[in-house]
Amino acid sequence: MREIWHGGDRYTADITIPSRGDFSFVIESYDNPLATWIHDAEIKIGADVDAELMCTIGVNLFEEVISQDPAAKSLLKGAIAALKDAKLAPLNRFGIASTPEIRSYSAANPLRRLATQSEKYPVRADHPRALVGSWYEFFPRSEGAMENKDGSITSGTFKTASLRIPAVAAMGFDILYLPPIHPIGVTHRKGRNNTLTPAPSDPGVPWAIGGAEGGHMAINPALGTMKDFEDFVAVAKKNKIEVALDFALQASPDHPWVREHPEFFTHRADGTIAYAENPPKKYQDIYPINFDNDYKAILEESLKTLRFWINKGVSIFRVDNPHTKPVHFWGDVMRVIREESPDVIFLAEAFTKAPMMHALGKAGFHQSYTYFTWRTTKQELIAYGEEVAHQTSAFFRPNFWVNTPDINPFHLQSGNPAIFAIRAALASTLTPSWGMYAGYELYEHRRFKEGGEEYLDSEKYEIKVRDWAGAEKKQVTLAPFITLLNKIRRENVALQRLRNLRFHHAENDQILAYSKREGDNLILVVVNLDPNFAQETTVHWNMDSLGLREDNFEVTDLIDSAKYQWSPFTFVRLDPTRLSGKVVHIAKVKL
């Protein structure tokens, strides 16, 4: 361990876990008489207090060191001779016996006496995917969907959706998240924009799980067959993409559980089953689970469902609203699945109070959605970045999503392409895991109502027909920039780490500067947070934090390959308003 600052009595150490699994570490403390002697002798001999005694003690300690490490004799024999030489002044003797080389040796090879160990501290090393990933979300029913001449929509299927996978892979995403793919209930089905009066053609909300065709272990027949899903997973794996499946513990009124396990649900005084609510929102098409009635049966049914999809090739689960279920339930689920399938990853979709989000991490969730979506100012981003990188990283791995089907953030509702680029640059470089919901690259931004953060014509309630090829042809897409961001992430290990985030002072409150370093890989990021105007500033790089000793250093901007000579005080200007507008420097330092 090394002292953080001299005399502060605070120490730190880096531990590299050799492989995935459960480990423990201990902290050992001991008496180091050689270091104590150097400290005491420097004071006492300098004050002419017990000077001869201190020299004698030094001789004894050096001889003890040589008896334990004979290789140290060549370093210490001169010191021993000097300490024994009564012709020399004690202060001169001490100077010969406490050279920088001897002090360094003492620090690196302490005499350990009275060694004691702390309790064992557990530490778990998960699959790398638990920390690092680029997530992309799409609804299979929208991929390959077609609008017919009469205005009706033909749903996409797993077969048509699989044709979209190569494009997702080409953008550099390595995790493809699918909302629930199960049969959708008919009772109280929601129509467009959450209406309670659906048209016969409305497909329903995927999270209203369960119908005549089955429940959580069945496929929505509109998407195809189980074989089609297995083929879809195979195409994804061929494109080096892992499929993440939604795990939503809830049921539509038509779910088989309602008939077979009525005890899974809460019954109101009038005998009806309570549906989900988040006032003023009502989800009449969804019944939440009551874990108090038959906990064991619910746990077994959940494990049965997870095992089923794991056997189908699913290695990642995005868990819907885990904070509305008992935390100890997730602890039980994670423990069993970890023992059976240790490489399976769970993402918590828990937009709730921080203590609950942290509790879910401690219960076993590998990562979580975060508040990044609502952190927009420089001060907010710095505070939140410091929190997730340095305060909670031992138990909470963040995943920065720029949008979701439920969240159309206020800052995106202008449709300004620059803000879409800015948020993607931030999300993809601040943390090792980030996510994007389909349509973001097309700058989809229309809000359902003033003051709200829901999408107009939300894909939760209808099938979206998107013209990917047309957008690419017209160059009305952020896909090339997204592709470049993911390429930069993939090629720079510093961006695949969480705890190495360091912020640096920029004089302009509209410009955020930060760095990440892992070994010889040093990345500097400067972002203009203003999508409407050019901003310029001087960035004051903390050279000690960067690990740089030269006053000037060469960087290559990974966005446009431009090379610059930067210094501890670097002037930058970022202008998003030009045709080739630039919102971010992602600069790799030549070391």
State pLDDT tens for residues 388-418.
999 999 999 999 999 999 999 999 999 999 9
Nearest-angstrom CA–CA distance, 406 and 459: 9
**Distances in Å between the alpha carbon of 76 and those of 47, 54, 80, 106?**
25, 16, 6, 11
In a domain, 276, yes or no: no
Are 368 and 242 contained in the same domain? yes
Taking only the tens of pLDDT, the chain with its 591 residues reads: 888 888 888 888 888 888 989 999 999 999 999 999 999 999 999 999 999 999 999 999 999 999 999 999 999 999 999 999 999 999 999 999 999 999 999 989 999 999 999 999 999 999 999 999 999 999 999 999 999 999 999 999 999 999 999 999 999 999 999 999 999 999 999 999 999 999 999 999 999 999 999 999 999 999 999 999 999 999 999 999 999 999 999 999 999 999 999 999 999 999 899 999 888 778 899 999 999 989 999 999 999 999 999 999 999 999 999 999 999 999 999 999 999 999 999 999 999 999 999 999 999 999 999 999 999 999 999 999 999 999 999 999 999 999 999 999 999 999 999 999 999 999 999 999 999 999 999 999 999 999 999 999 999 999 999 999 999 999 999 999 999 999 999 999 999 999 999 999 999 999 999 999 999 999 999 999 999 999 999 999 999 999 998 889 999 999 999 999 999 999 999 999 876 679 999 999 999
Report CA-CA distances (Å) from 131 to 104, 126, 393: 37, 8, 10
Q: With H, G, I as helix, E, B as strand and everything else as coil, classify residue 185.
A: coil
What is 441-463 written as a DSSP string?
A: GGT---BSSTT--SBTT-TTTS-
**Distance from C-alpha of 178 to C-alpha of 185, rounded to nearest angstrom:** 18
Q: How far is it, in rounded angstroms, from Cα 523 to Cα 530?
A: 22
Tokens (6 digits) for 234 = 């195979």
Known catalytic residue: 349?
yes
Q: What is the CATH number of the domain that holds 441?
A: 3.20.20.80
283 inside domain: no
Which of 202, 242, 254, 349 is an active site residue?
349
Q: What is the CATH number of the domain that holds 21?
A: 1.20.58.80
Neighbours of 431 (CB within 10 A): 25
Calculate Rg over the CA atoms of the chain.
30
Q: Is 147 a catalytic residue?
A: no
What's the total number of domains in the chain? 3
Q: From CA 300, how far away is CA 178, in angstroms rounded?
A: 24
Residues 390 and 528 reside in one and the same domain = no
Q: From the candidates 320, 441, 462, 530, which is the catalytic residue?
A: 320
Tell me, what CATH number does 528's domain have? 2.60.40.1180
Are 321 and 366 found together in one domain?
Answer: yes
260-308 confidence digits (pLDDT tens): 999 999 999 998 999 998 887 788 999 999 999 899 999 999 999 999 9
485 and 511 co-located in one domain: no
CB-neighbour burial class of residue 272 (10 A; exposed 0-12, middle 13-18, buried 19+): exposed
In the numeric block, the tokens 């013209």 are attached to: 467
10 Å Cβ neighbour count for 217? 15
Please tell me whether residues 113 and 240 are part of one structural domain.
Answer: no
**Are 460 and 530 in a shared domain?**
no
Residue 277 token pair: 């609510």
- Distance (Å, whole) CA 244 – CA 175: 7
pTM given for the model: 0.90
Decide if 115 is inside a domain: yes
Q: CA 267 to CA 586: how far, in whole Å?
A: 56
Spatial separation of the C-alpha atoms in residues 546 and 401, rounded to whole Å: 28
C-alpha closest to that of 33 among 102, 90, 91, 112: 112
For residue 97, the enclosing domain spans 2-125
Give yes or no: residues 25 and 117 share one domain.
yes
Q: Please state, for a pLDDT cut of 90, what percent of the chain lies above it.
A: 92
Looking at the fold, whether 225 and 368 belong to one and the same domain comes out as yes
Residue type, 132: V
